[in-house]
Every structure is written in structure tokens, then in C-alpha cells.
């Protein structure tokens, strides 16, 4: 066998092995009043080649529930999408802003924060954050932080089916 073919076979084997590993992306739900993680929030992850939310697809086909520290860990296999979006899927934990679409490179490199600038139907802020408690809350590499508030009794009553 010629040396070039041996080299080519080795390169192909490495390329095939490289696409088999996975990345962990952590979604953390943070209570805007306390700065602590919120447990029992259902989280789903979407991704795609475009940053247009309508063109995202489900990445894992399942929802995960946040643990006591507010984290849900998704294991995404290669090839990774270019853009990613995390959604909270239940009424126990309400996001303070719409879900944003982030570049996966940025999420893995530095981590990202979803906003807390959502407005209610009267134009007022949807969440009232305790900025003193949130001063030290930062995203770590591979992490998406979503600011949420626990649903009040009145909100649950209004949203009931």
C-alpha cells in the first residue's frame, strides 16, 4: 500500500471519530427576585442553521426539568447547529423576556444571558428584578441563563384552562 493511502485512511478515521463526540449545553433558570436557580421548570432546546426562530428545530426531542440548582443539561451530538434557542415550556416558571436565538459558538465560548426586558399587556415590565441579588449572576461557557419569575396564584388562576 502506498504511504499516501495509509495517510488518507488515517485522516478519514480521525474525521469520522471527531464527529461522534458531543457538547453539553446547560440551561439555567434564575429567579429574578432571589438570584437563585429555580427547580422544576420544563426546558426544551431548539437549534438550526439560521437565527430565525421559525426555522429552528427540536434538538433533543424531549424536555428536561431543572434540578434544584436551576440547571438542565442537554447533551448535543455533532454536528452542532449554528444557532440555538432555549424555551421554558410550563407555566410554573415564566420567562422575563422572549426566548432569544444565540450563536452556538458564543454559548460554548463565553455563555449567554436571555434578557429581562419583557413588557406586559399594559406596557409595564413583566419582571421586577432584584438587581442587588443579580449582580453576581453570570453565565459560564456552555451555559444559557434565562431569567424567570415563579408564577403567582393570580397568574395561575388567569392562565387556567
Q: Give residue 72's domain range.
A: 22-159
Q: Is residue 40 part of a domain?
A: yes
Task: Give the best-scoring range by mean pLDDT among 44-58, 72-86, 110-124.
Answer: 72-86
Domain count, the chain: 1
Q: What is the CATH number of the domain that holds 101?
A: 2.60.40.10
Q: Is residue 94 part of a domain?
A: yes
Q: Is residue 93 part of a domain?
A: yes
Q: Is residue 15 part of a domain?
A: no
Between 12 and 77, residue with greater pLDDT: 77
Query: What's the rounded Cα separation, in Å, for the pair 143 and 130?
Result: 21
Q: Is residue 146 part of a domain?
A: yes
The confidence band for 68, taking pLDDT boundaries of 50, 70 and 90, is very high
Q: Is residue 7 part of a domain?
A: no
Question: Considering only 58-67, 71-80, 97-106, 109-118, which range has the smallest mean pLDDT?
Answer: 58-67
The confidence band for 66, taking pLDDT boundaries of 50, 70 and 90, is very high
pTM, two decimal places: 0.75
Q: Is residue 133 part of a domain?
A: yes
Amino acid at each position: 500500500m502506498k504511504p499516501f493511502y495509509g495517510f488518507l485512511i488515517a485522516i478519514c478515521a480521525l474525521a469520522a471519530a471527531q464527529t461522534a463526540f458531543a457538547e453539553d449545553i446547560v440551561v439555567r433558570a434564575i429567579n429574578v427576585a432571589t438570584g437563585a436557580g429555580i427547580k422544576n421548570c420544563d426546558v426544551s432546546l431548539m437549534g438550526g442553521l439560521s437565527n430565525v426562530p421559525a426555522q429552528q428545530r427540536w434538538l433533543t426531542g424531549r424536555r428536561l426539568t431543572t434540578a434544584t440548582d436551576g440547571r438542565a443539561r442537554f447533551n448535543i451530538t455533532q454536528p452542532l447547529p449554528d444557532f440555538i434557542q432555549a424555551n421554558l415550556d410550563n407555566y410554573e416558571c415564566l420567562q422575563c423576556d422572549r426566548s432569544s436565538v444565540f450563536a452556538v459558538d458564543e454559548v460554548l465560548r463565553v455563555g449567554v444571558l436571555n434578557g429581562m426586558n419583557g413588557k406586559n399587556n399594559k406596557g409595564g415590565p413583566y419582571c421586577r428584578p432584584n438587581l442587588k441579588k443579580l449582580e453576581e449572576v453570570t453565565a459560564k461557557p456552555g451555559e444559557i441563563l434565562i431569567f424567570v419569575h415563579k408564577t403567582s396564584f393570580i397568574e395561575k388562576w388567569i392562565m387556567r384552562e
